[in-house]
Structure 1
């Protein structure tokens, strides 16, 4: 079995080497192999140079690199990565060090045990480290999750989490459209409609960034998420 790790990157020259190095060191349970798929969303810094140097210095890794010639957004980068992934399961790893790849095995365990098709890594459950940052972001995340749950009839605690582990065939059969941060509510709404889908949630750590440290999501993305929850929750 193989896990495809999709790494969308936009202006992450300061952190992408560290993220890739962390991914390199991850040993997956139950004999899972891993591939890394980097998608550079037309960064204006040296993200490409750092990523290419890492690839050149680690020829033993199964790692591929793709670049958008025009900046399209995180969702668009994920679409590219999903198409290129060859693994049995797919997970997203942002290039910003907010999530710890060593916790992949926490998400894989319900899969390995035969219980899950999809596993969400929640920042709001369990006893793992969680950086204390923005009150209104937390309220916004919980509100968006609550509203999403109303439409999907799920009981997630963290719909907006980066860590979502999907069975590849299920994910690739979805028709996904959102090119920015609307990906999260869209994929949640569409995955919830698959008959007999088995969705689990586990607690993960969260090492959040400030805007000075490079955080990119903003209040406009929150309004887009609201729109996406209603649009895709109603089935369009």
Structure 2
């Protein structure tokens, strides 16, 4: 991990959408709360039908806020709910499956704490960190979506679809989030780019999971991402 030029202090709200994640959500929450940077964890249960709700009900840590949707709405909707309840200086998105490592929050926070950035993306394709080797066509699709997004936003991101997006709280709470599913990623990228926000990327590790292990995103979400790139990057200029 890169050296941090600031002493760890609780300045981060973590927003965690969760849908049928009973196998991993407890470990994910434990890993998040182990970070000295975390002031608040907002978990949004998107109407899970497994044991996720019972696990969340058993949490007693005062830093954890648990919210629940009455009907399943999608990741974007869960993030919209969670971000609205964030209260710390900075906000990071954390999936409940531990594909991303909360011990790397310091990397994400460094440019924000230095005052260099308004938004920091954790890139799975930059920095030479370790990655689990999985699906070839997923990586191709991700790079194509990132390229398309860059073409309409004039950014040079390497990983637009990354989960690890960190923001100044006042900035992300000023954005109206419209997408209910995985279209959140290109939507928020386009809207923040149009606002003039300063983007940074840092390399992160990635421990991806298979569909058998619970991965949810599919080709239909890729098609929807293309639609969102056009909608928010081109049509709303």
TM-score bracket, shorter-length normalisation:
over 0.9
- Give the paired residue count: 227
Check whether the contact 2:112–2:168 (CA below 8 A) recurs between aligned residues.
no
Q: Which runs of 5+ in 2 are unaligned?
A: 1-9
Q: 2:232 & 2:115 partners in 1: Cα distance?
A: 29
CA shift, 1:97, in A, is 1.0
Q: Deviations over 1:94-123 (max 9, x none)?
A: 000100000011000111122111000000
Aligned position for 1:174:
175
1:132 — aligned with what? 133
The 2-side partners of 1:25 and 1:171 are apart by: 24
Aligned-residue Cα RMSD (Å) equals 1.0
> Residue 45 in 1 paired to residue 34 in 2?
no
Instruction: Tell me what 2:203 maps to.
Output: 203
Name the SS for the 2:133 alignment partner: coil
Q: Distance in 2 between matches of 1:227 and 1:235?
A: 10
Question: Which residue number in structure 2 is paired with residue 85 of structure 1?
Answer: 86
Task: Give the match for residue 146 of structure 1.
Answer: 147
Alignment deviations for residues 190-227 of structure 1 (CA, whole Å, 9 cap, x no partner): 000113x2110000010000000000000000000000
2:195 alignment partner, SS class: coil
- Which residue number in structure 2 is paired with residue 15 of structure 1? 24
Alignment-derived partner of residue 24 in structure 1: 33
Instruction: Give the 5 Å matches for 1:151-230.
Output: 151-195=152-196, 197-230=197-230
**Distance in structure 1 (CA, Å) of the matches to 2:36 and 2:174:** 29
User: How high is the TM-score relative to the length of structure 2?
Assistant: 0.94
Shift of 1:168: 1.0
Counting only pairs closer than 5 Å after superposition, residues 102-141 of structure 1 correspond to structure 2 as 102-141=103-142
SS of match in other structure, 1:116: coil
Distance 2:107 2:235 in 1: 31
Structure-1-length-normalised TM-score: 0.94
Give the distance between the partners of 2:30 and 2:134, measured in 1 at CA: 26
Once superposed, which parts of structure 1, at least 4 consecutive aligned residues long, lie more than 2 Å away?
A: none
